[in-house]
Amino acid sequence: MTSMKRILLLTSFLVVGLAAQAQVQRTCLAEAFSNASCGPCASQNPAYNTLMAGNTNKVITVKYQWYFPGFDPMNAQNPTEPNARIGYYGQSGVPCGVLDGTLWAGPNYVGALANADQTEIDTRWGVSSPFNITITPALTAGKDSVTVDVDLNTPAVFSGANLRLHVLLVEKTITFASAPGSNGETVFHSVMRKMITGTSGYTIQNSWAMAETQSYSFTVPLVDYIYDHQELEIVAFVQNNTSKEVHQAAEADLPVSDFAVTDNIVTSSLNCSSSLSGITVDFTNDGSNTVTAATINYSVDGGTTQTVPYAGSLAAGATTPIAIPTLTGLTSGSHTIETWVTDVNGSGSSGQMGLDSKSFNIFTGAATATPLSQAFTSASFPYANWSLDNPNPSLTWTRVTTNSGSLKFDCYSYANGTISNVIVEPVNMTTLTTPTLTFDVAYRQYSSENDRLEVYVSTDCGANWTSVFNEAGSTLANGLTPSTSAFTPTTAQWHTETVDLSAYGSATNFFVRFKGTSAYGNNMYIDKINIQDASSGIEDNNTNNFNVYPNPTTDVINVTFANAQNVTVSLVNSVGQTVRVFNNVNTNAVLSLEGLANGMYILNADINGQHVTKQIIKN
């Protein structure tokens, strides 16, 4: 919660022979709107950034990362505030920007960043301001919150209208190792991270006396999605909320020292015991001074806080693993462990700093009896003993109402490389004679991307996973042509995949994991997951009689099927590469594997409109 205190300091004195129109040098405010997946933003930002860098004595720059046209991690961390700010200026697209509340003029569409030029900056900078702004920012003692003192001073009498004070937390430079969106940008400047005074700002008085000073203080928790705390600054400005004119702006670095943050809880997302061990926390010193003491706090599902002390010498920028004691007495289901740091170098803080969390799933009961069938008609996903395993919990498979219920992976919005896993409840395979996995898929490309769907299986509670299905791009699309609209399938756009699980018939705790990997293409869906005997599955009464033998094999594989001619058969290796394609295959064919490396392969065939998959091993 934002806390605020207001102190009025009024100094009155007699001025003889002095006009009440003292001049104050203006510092302009340039606000820009961009997106990490916006192509025009990538082309206009370099020149704009260069212009701003050459006018640091005249202009303060703030950038708001918008939600459109594609994925942007900085917007995903704080979508409401930047989206509200672009709406405040009546804009509906990026890139765009304003100077002191006025859209950039020029030959392009009004507000385009390409219109920003030196003349407008010089002209506006030459207009005197009615305010002086002084900012004094600080971290609280526990370094879990930010306090900002702002002094406004009017050397001359000033009468304004609908005035608001805005105070922002800004990260000056954010650098990614690879582009987080689809436009190729890896470096982002002056990114607004938090509106300390909210999207509407803080209302201040409109009438000001000569030499009047008002002081304001704001305290807010330090947001936990900062990339580099050394890059933080505070920007404050006074704006007419009717005309949108910005009267004055100022900035000040946020002093950061001895700041430590936890990141990356390391633990398995799946566990088949009521206890969980091997949990570590990567403890990183994100400050400028060596950390010699700290307390690592942790709790499970918001329960009792436990602590692990740190004593040592952790240099600035260094990371060390901290072991969390074994968690015991865990019940079946999904759990969340949270960690945070207090008492860095004896600060005595009891607040939360560098909060991190990770979900994991415990399975301690009996495996589900087969056959298993799930059509996702119930809205309460994830279901009992199902689990989601995602590097980013907000970028995940979600249950949607399409096809009367299905799972969706939003490759249309998720950045290239985004991964999400959904793990099916464990099943007992020993009751099946010819165990088979079938599932329905709907996917189409945006243009030519290779969004990928993989299926893995495990017989040892996730310690090891084996790939049994791997398709991407046009192969996964199964004949659907690309579309630049976000894909929602019709009934006719689904197809069924079949995976042979005969190698796992003895497994009593058998796990299946569906892995989606976005290439920033288009949406994919899965539905009607079945683990059952082949004779009761999609191969309806075994009409195709599809078999491969011997398996394992050496240099050849025999393929048999019924009622089809000129079938295309492909082999995919364990990393998803198609290594061999056999065209015009007929029943009782012998396929050569000569020259292929030993290992596991997935054999794909389309027979009578049904896509069938078999796993083979070459020795």
pLDDT of residue 47: 96
Q: Report, as an integer, the average pLDDT of 534-547.
A: 51
- Round to whole Å and give the CA distance between 474 and 95: 32
Q: Report, as an integer, the average pLDDT of 566-579.
A: 79
- Round to whole Å and give the CA distance between 114 and 49: 11
What DSSP state is assigned to residue 36?
A: T
Q: Answer whether residue 536 shows pLDDT above 60.
A: no
CATH topology of domain 3-11+21-253: Immunoglobulin-like (2.60.40)
Q: Answer whether residue 531 shows pLDDT above 90.
A: yes
Q: Report, as an integer, the average pLDDT of 7-13.
A: 35
Q: Which residues pair with 420 in a beta bridge?
A: 516
Least confident of 77-81, 117-121, 130-134, 362-366: 362-366
Q: Answer whether residue 368 shows pLDDT above 70.
A: yes
Tokens 């025009």 correspond to 40
What DSSP state is assigned to residue 186?
A: -
Q: Answer whether residue 543 shows pLDDT above 60.
A: no
Question: Is 62:190 a contact under the CB 8 Å cutoff?
Answer: yes
- Round to whole Å and give the CA distance between 597 and 580: 12
Considering 286-290, 471-475, 595-599, the range whose residues carry the highest mean pLDDT is 471-475
pLDDT of residue 609: 66
Q: Answer whether residue 259 shows pLDDT above 70.
A: no
Q: What percent of the chain has pLDDT over 70?
A: 91
Most distant CA atoms of the chain, gap in Å: 109
List Cβ neighbours of 209 (8 Å cut-off, separation of 6 or more): 10, 12, 154, 157
The mean pLDDT of the chain is 87
| Per-residue pLDDT tens over the stretch 187-231 | 999 999 999 999 999 999 999 999 999 999 999 988 878 888 889
| Per-residue pLDDT tens over the stretch 412-450 | 988 888 999 999 999 999 999 889 999 999 999 999 999
Considering 38-42, 576-580, 611-615, the range whose residues carry the highest mean pLDDT is 38-42
Structure tokens at 217: 């203080």
| Per-residue pLDDT tens over the stretch 238-249 | 999 999 999 999
Q: Answer whether residue 65 shows pLDDT above 90.
A: yes
Which residue, among 322, 167, 379, 373, has the nearest Cα to 254 in the 3D structure?
Answer: 167
Q: Answer whether residue 581 shows pLDDT above 60.
A: yes
The CB-based long-range contact list for 274-279 (8 Å cut-off, 24+ gap) reads: 274/328, 274/329, 274/330, 274/331, 274/362, 274/364, 275/326, 275/327, 275/328, 275/329, 275/330, 276/326, 276/327, 276/330, 276/360, 276/362, 277/326, 277/327, 279/323, 279/324, 279/327, 279/337
Q: Answer whether residue 4 shows pLDDT above 50.
A: no
pLDDT of residue 191: 98
- Round to whole Å and give the CA distance between 581 and 119: 63
> Could you tell me where the beta strands, DSSP code E, fall in 59-204?
59-65, 96-99, 102-103, 132-139, 145-154, 158-159, 163-175, 187-195, 202-203
Least confident of 221-235, 408-422, 551-565: 551-565
Confidence of residue 577 (pLDDT cuts 50, 70, 90): confident
Helix (H, G, I), strand (E, B) or coil at 304: coil
| Per-residue pLDDT tens over the stretch 509-518 | 999 999 999 9
Structure tokens at 303: 């329960």
Tell me the pTM. Answer: 0.60
Q: Report, as an integer, the average pLDDT of 548-575.
A: 79
pLDDT of residue 513: 96
> Domain 547-618 belongs to what architecture?
Sandwich (2.60)
Q: Report, as an integer, the average pLDDT of 294-298.
A: 89
Q: Answer whether residue 16 shows pLDDT above 70.
A: no
Question: Is 585:591 a contact under the CB 8 Å cutoff?
Answer: yes
Helix, strand and coil in the chain, % to nearest 5: 10, 45, 45
Give domain limits for the chain: 3-11+21-253, 266-350, 368-536, 547-618
List Cβ neighbours of 90 (8 Å cut-off, separation of 6 or more): none
pLDDT of residue 215: 97
pLDDT of residue 572: 81
Q: Which CATH class is domain 266-350?
A: mainly beta
> Domain 368-536 belongs to what architecture?
Sandwich (2.60)
Residue 215 region, left (φ>0) first, then alpha (ψ -120 to 50), else beta? beta
Considering 1-10, 117-126, 414-423, the range whose residues carry the highest mean pLDDT is 117-126
| Per-residue pLDDT tens over the stretch 463-482 | 899 999 999 999 999 999 99
| Domain 3-11+21-253 and domain 368-536 have a common topology | no
Q: Report, as an integer, the average pLDDT of 308-317.
A: 91
